[in-house]
Amino acid sequence: MLQEILPDFDDLQGMILEIFNLQSKKAYLDVEIKATEALVTREVTTNEKYFTNGKQPSMEFIKSTYQYTGIDGKLVDKRKEYADVAALLEFKRLSYDLAKMKVDVWRTRSANERLSVE
């Protein structure tokens, strides 16, 4: 009965590959978001269109407004995508850990059954 729910090594290998791909995607999104934040900061500190009374906006204001959403609002979508990838990555990691635990439980039960037969 327990053997039916055991993952095989191909399943575990596939899970590892999924985790790797999600980790890569998450890292790429992180770099993309940070690069966009840098471009936004450069734009709003050098383009007088964003100045108030001839002064650049403060970094605190930039962080809480322009850097979070982006000048065009597209950073919000990237941040949502990042959150989705991070959540899915955590789910896949937990699923992998659960699969390993199932193998460990099977190994322990199998060893106990061999001991009880002797």
d(CA 3, CA 106): 7
More confident call, 81 vs 2: 81
Q: Would you kindly state where each structural domain of the chain is located, as residue ranges?
A: 10-111
Tokens of 36: 């966009």
Q: Tell me, what's the pLDDT at 118? A: 61
Cα–Cα nearest to 34, from 81, 6, 84, 68: 68
The 10s digit of each residue's pLDDT in 61-76 is 999 999 999 999 989 9
The 10s digit of each residue's pLDDT in 7-58 is 888 999 999 999 999 999 999 999 999 999 999 999 999 999 999 999 999 9
Tokens of 103: 């193998």
Q: Tell me, what's the pLDDT at 117? A: 67
**Long-range interactions of 58-66: CB distance < 8 A, separation 24+:** 66/40, 66/41
